[in-house]
Amino acid sequence: MARTTPPHLALALDRVKAFVSKHPNGVDVNDLLKVDAYTFLNKKARKQLLEVIEHYNQLVVIRTGKPGRESIWLRHKRYLTEHIEERNGDDTTEPLYTCAECLKEKPADEFYGHKNKSFRCKECTERLPAQIKTAPVQLSSDIKDKDKEVIVTKQNLSPLELRKKAEELLRQAEETERTITAKDVFQKQLEPVRREVLLAHTKVTKAVEAMVDGMAEFDKAVAKLREFKIIP
């Protein structure tokens, strides 16, 4: 079947195929927002582009979930073990996701829910509370050991030396506490910045969509103006 790609989708189709070809395990359809030519399309044009890709078998399209809430996964044919001429909804290929903690690729059932597929896997998520829980215990044990050391040696130290020793212990305790809380502080500081970036991206996308729609209407108006003739 000869492929007929609408002119306004040709550039986006080439860019999307090039982007997907760089990922052997494929990409989620939401990752296409990293492709500039794709972000310039409005919602209707993006849907039309996916239909062209699937209808003409440009990429392997894997749909999972119920209609309206389904997840769409795109994968390049070069990474399949055999060439696929037609794609139906019963494909057994399961996409892999990368854990941000251990950096291992794992299937979707190794993550808690769809929102966490780009973050930590179950193993890393379950291990995190244990690490946080044992850290304060270790800190308390270290402080107690240091206190015992001070009690044993204070009889042989001068007041100035005892003060320096106490200051050193205090610095060590503060450093340990900072290590424990650094991760939580980083997450709290990062979250508002992440929200601002997402909000700005949404505004820019809407503005670009409005601009593209406006340009299409402008082209139509110019075409009508060129065809306008005065009938005597």
The total number of structural domains in the chain stands at: 1
Position 44 scores a pLDDT of: 92
Position 15 scores a pLDDT of: 92
Residue 136 lies in a domain: no
Q: Pick from 70, 68, 56: which is nearest to 28 by CA?
A: 70
State how far Cα 177 lies from the chain centre: 30
- pLDDT tens for the chain, 232 residues: list them: 455 678 888 899 999 999 999 998 889 999 999 999 899 999 999 999 999 998 888 898 888 888 778 889 999 888 875 444 444 444 455 677 666 667 677 777 777 654 444 456 788 877 766 555 455 555 556 666 665 555 555 556 677 777 777 788 888 877 877 777 766 766 777 778 778 877 877 887 888 888 888 888 888 888 888 887 776 6
Position 74 scores a pLDDT of: 92
Residue 203 lies in a domain: no
Residue 51 lies in a domain: yes
* Domain of residue 47, CATH code: 1.10.10.10
Position 83 scores a pLDDT of: 45
Residue 53 lies in a domain: yes
Torsion (CA) 20, 23, 29, 35 in degrees, nearest 10: -60
Phi, psi angles (nearest 5°) of residue 123: -60, -45
Residue 68 lies in a domain: yes
Residue 34 lies in a domain: yes
Pair type for strands 71-75 and 96-98: unpaired
Q: pTM surpassing 0.75?
A: no
DSSP 172-194: HHHHHHHHHHHHHHHHHHHHHHH
Residue 97 lies in a domain: no
Residue-number span of the structural domain to which 20 is assigned: 8-81
DSSP the chain: ------HHHHHHHHHHHHHHHT-TT-EEGGGGGGSHHHHTS-HHHHHHHHHHHHHTTSSEEEEESSTTS-EEEEE-GGGSSS--S---TT-----EEE-TTT--EEEGGGSSSGGGTTS--HHHHHHHHHHHHHHHHHHHHHHHHHHHHHHHHGGGS-HHHHHHHHHHHHHHHHHHHHHHHHHHHHHHHHHHHHHHHHHHHHHHHHHHHHHHHHHHHHHHHHHHHHH-----
Position 70 scores a pLDDT of: 82
Q: Is 105 exposed, middle or buried (0-12, 13-18, 19+ CB in 10 A)?
A: middle
Residue 180 lies in a domain: no
